[in-house]
Amino acid sequence: MKNKSTRGLTLLGKGKTVYPGNPEQAVLESFPNPRSGRNYWIKLDCPEFTSLCPITGQPDFGRLTIEYIPNKLCVESKALKLYLVAYRNHGAFHEDVTNRILDDLVKAIRPRQARVTGEFNRRGGIAITVIAEHP
């Protein structure tokens, strides 16, 4: 049964999960913030994030942390998971991936504040951490 807070959510409760082939095909669904009158942080930890190196096509592994103070909307976690999985076949540098995820999150839910941290595993002896913030 759908109520006002779950109306528009299409990915939850489906028997079969369809994984998007790239970030453009993914949809960041949202639901109304149940405490929109208060500033509070939501932290989402994604320890198994994978994207592809745009030059070599080799996988890049890392931990992605998404933190935000919601305004009117919160991101739905299954939709976020499917959105992030779409990067497994997407070639981009760490800096671009991290900033794009922040841009897409801001576009989808318009948070009061947001931070995306990408901590990418060592390749060639160097680990890279990228932190993108809004505003």
**Model confidence over 40-84: pLDDT tens digits?**
999 999 999 999 999 999 999 999 999 999 999 999 999 999 999
CATH 3.30.200.20 fits 24-32+40-134, yes or no: no
Of residues 45, 53, 74, 104, which has the active-site annotation? 53
Residue pair 87/104 in contact (Cβ under 8 Å)? The answer is no
Which uninterrupted H or E stretch holds 105?
Answer: helix 94-109
Which uninterrupted H or E stretch holds 115?
Answer: strand 113-123
Q: Which two tokens stand for residue 6?
A: 């779950």
pLDDT reading at 131 higher than 80: yes
CA 9, CA 63: separation in Å to the nearest integer? 26
Does 60 qualify as catalytic in the annotation? yes
Does 104 qualify as catalytic in the annotation? no
Q: Of 78, 88, 95, give the one whose Cα is nearest residue 50.
A: 88
CA 67, CA 116: separation in Å to the nearest integer? 6
pTM for this entry: 0.86
Instruction: Please classify residue 30 by burial: count the beta carbons closer than 10 Å to its beta carbon, then call 0-12 exposed, 13-18 middle and 19+ buried.
Output: buried
Of residues 46, 60, 96, 104, which has the active-site annotation? 60
